[in-house]
């Protein structure tokens, strides 16, 4: 059993690190905003790495989720391993109206997770976003389900715009994490320690000019 942890703004039983990964423009930040603030708006592209914190109760447990959002691997190069380290849950996001974003999950992102993820029991969910644009769909629901089955992922389609299935995505992921004893053991204190440390690294000013 994992040990209980006390947060600064209240008590919680577990702290989990969740990653949103996928191509730029698939709606990762919109999904996160919809989940965190119950609102959706047009967002500028994420620069580098950002994270939000959400406290909620699921399955009778009080949870603190630290949800990391990234612009993509090219933005933060060598810091990529620390981004993946200690993640309990990973949300693969693609745009159902852009086939290349689905293809890249298999060719780029899934391989990256296999390479850098440190929790072998890490729970993954595949999320097809923008189902509100069904007439422009290029990736079928059946293709998404087949990918998820092959890679042992949960699967959902959602719309950050209409908020359809956004809450369900995080709830399904967390319930699955709570069912894995190894994930409950390893994360709470480590995640708490990492947040401040990683934020300082990502925000550190670069030394030297463009040609140094």
Residue 94 lies in a domain: yes
Q: 64-73, 87-96, 137-146: which range is least confident on average?
A: 64-73
Q: Given a cut of 80, is residue 160 above it in pLDDT?
A: yes
Residue 210 lies in a domain: no
- Token digits of residue 190: 């480590």
Which position has the higher pLDDT, 128 or 2? 128
Q: Given a cut of 90, is residue 37 above it in pLDDT?
A: no
Residue 208 lies in a domain: no
- Residue 66 forms beta bridges with which residues? 17, 53
N-to-C CA span, the chain? 50
The model's pTM is 0.78
Residue 48 lies in a domain: yes
Residue 56 lies in a domain: yes
Q: 66-70, 72-76, 95-99, 143-147: which range is least confident on average?
A: 72-76
Structural domain containing residue 105: 5-203
Residue 44 lies in a domain: yes
CATH of the domain at 17: 3.40.50.300
In the chain, the number of structural domains is: 1
């Amino acid at each position: 059993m994992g040990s209980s942890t006390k947060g600064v703004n209240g008590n919680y039983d577990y702290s989990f690190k969740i990653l949103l990964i996928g191509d730029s423009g698939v709606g990762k930040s919109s999904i996160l905003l919809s989940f965190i603030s119950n609102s959706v708006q047009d967002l500028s592209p994420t620069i580098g790495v950002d994270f939000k914190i959400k406290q909620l109760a699921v399955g009778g447990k009080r949870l603190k989720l630290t949800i990391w959002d990234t612009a993509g691997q090219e933005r933060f190069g060598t810091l990529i391993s620390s981004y993946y380290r200690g993640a309990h849950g990973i949300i693969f996001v693609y745009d159902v109206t852009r086939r290349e974003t689905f293809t890249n999950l298999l060719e780029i992102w899934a391989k990256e997770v296999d390479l850098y993820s440190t929790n072998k029991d890490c729970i993954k969910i595949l999320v097809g976003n923008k189902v509100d644009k069904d007439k422009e769909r290029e990736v079928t629901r059946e293709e998404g389900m087949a990918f998820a089955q092959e890679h042992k992922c949960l699967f959902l389609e959602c719309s950050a715009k209409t908020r359809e299935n956004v809450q369900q995505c995080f709830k399904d992921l967390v319930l699955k994490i709570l069912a894995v004893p190894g994930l409950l053991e390893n994360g709470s204190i480590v995640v708490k320690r990492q947040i401040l440390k990683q934020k300082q690294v990502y925000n550190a000013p670069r030394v030297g000019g463009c040609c140094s």
